Amino acid sequence: MNSDDRLRQRASRLLSQVATRSDRLINEGLAQADARKWHYAVLASLQDFGPASQAALSKRTGIYRSDMVGVLNELAMRQLVERAPDPDDQRRNVITVSTAGRRQLRRLDRVLDVLHDELLAPLDAAEREQLVSLLTRLLDHHDSPGS
């Protein structure tokens, strides 16, 4: 067995290499749409799960709290999210996706659909579904308590 074969048999290495290529493709594609993947993550989280505090958004999206402030400032400046005082705790804000934010999310969904088609081009629909299912299962396992 030569080293190339050994490296190509390591799922961790393959996942890492695909992730690197995926990040580059997605980052470049979203940049052409004047957006970043963190913008998409926040807008999608707000649309799918409803208004949230900065801390809850950070937990939902995996964006560090220190970075979340900058992301929300960018989105608020573009009027894609709205901040309002939390009625239960005036020290924090509740973030809500705006009408313009929902439009931007639909636009970014279309951009990402094209980018994912490019990323997953060698796979047919069933294989794509299976890949997502397997990756979700791995992620859920490693995110569960005790892992």
pLDDT along the chain (147 residues), means of 10: 72 93 96 95 97 94 93 97 87 93 97 97 97 94 78
For the full predicted model, state whether its pTM sits above 0.75: yes
CA 75 – CA 50 distance, rounded (Å)? 16
Architecture of the domain made up of 11-143: Orthogonal Bundle (1.10)
Neighbours of 80 (CB within 10 A): 23
Q: Indicate the helix (H) or strand (E) that contains 93.
A: strand 89-97
Token digits of residue 135: 């990756």
142: Cα within 13 Å, side-chain hemisphere: 6
> Taking a C-beta distance cutoff of 8 angstroms, is the pair 95, 53 a contact?
yes
Domain spans of the chain?
11-143
94 DSSP assignment: E
